[in-house]
Amino acid sequence: MSTSVTLENVSKRYGDVEVLRGIDLSIPAGQTVALIGPSGSGKSTLLRLLMTLERPDAGRILVGGESMWTRRRGGQEVPASPAHLRKVRGRIGMVFQHFNLFPHMTALANVAEAPRHVLGLGRDEAEQRAREYLDMVGLGDKLDQYPGKLSGGQKQRVGIARALAMRPEVMLFDEVTSALDPELVGGVLEIMRDLSMRRTMTMIIVTHQMRFAERSSDRTLFFEGGRIVEDGPSAQVFGHPAEARTRQFLEAVIEA
């Protein structure tokens, strides 16, 4: 099950630097969106706001029509309770650049941990779910391996299975191949491409893999200076970008 994501005039500042500037964005349920642009343009900050790792300085974020940080009471917007924030946040999963696996746990235990302790599943049900998703990412034969015995690509696939095991409605990917050796990137991207084709989640992907973004996302947003400079179908943005700055960026990164 997927759901929509909406940002209304969202801004975020770190000291004197405004990292996001009045972002308005609506992502329908089930859509796969790629966020591209130079480093420091605000892409990863947007994901951190959706994960509640950071709080916006202004604006509203809605997931499935539910405001994340506020609720309406008596015709006014009031701060949301921690319970409400956890409920909305629970609809979102994220895969990070670095794997952050528990080194003392097997692949199976790493994936089963959150379903057991966050969702309250019993051990057998959580482990069965973990097996299902590890098998989906091609690691059905690595259940009992510890992270120290896995390659970087395998660790990242465990990270993807771990996020999937929570069955999120929205999945965020933040440069998930940036820490991998080049020969390991293709396998991880293929899994993400397959997830996109399944249409079971709304997916937001920050990536520097331009060909992957073009071929695997419905829509691409080009960020610069905390703003969305261009937003359109991926084939259009990559084939015939409307903005000169987008063309300049794509020419530089694709030729490089």
Q: Give per-10-residue mean pLDDT for the chain (256 aa).
A: 91 95 96 95 95 93 92 81 89 89 96 95 96 94 96 93 95 89 86 90 94 94 97 97 96 78
The pLDDT value given to residue 182 = 82
**Chain centre to alpha carbon of residue 95:** 6
CATH 3.40.50.300 holds for 5-91+171-255: yes
The pLDDT value given to residue 255 = 62
Q: For residue 138, give the nearest of 116, 154, 151, 118 by alpha carbon.
A: 154
The reported pTM is 0.93
Q: Of all helices (H) and strands (E), which one includes residue 25?
A: strand 17-27
Question: Is the separation of the CB atoms in 161 and 137 below 8 Å?
Answer: yes
The pLDDT value given to residue 80 = 86
The pLDDT value given to residue 234 = 97
CB pairs under 8 A, 24+ apart, for 21-28? 21/225, 21/226, 21/227, 22/58, 22/59, 22/227, 23/59, 23/226, 23/227, 23/228, 25/221, 25/228, 25/231, 27/202, 27/204, 27/219, 28/4, 28/202
The pLDDT value given to residue 2 = 80
Rounded Cα–Cα distance for residues 191 and 74 (Å): 46
Hey, what are 161's tokens?
A: 């299975």
The pLDDT value given to residue 172 = 96
What residues does each domain of the chain span? Answer: 5-91+171-255, 102-167
The pLDDT value given to residue 70 = 84
pLDDT digits (tens, 9 = 90+) for 123-149: 999 999 999 999 999 999 999 999 999
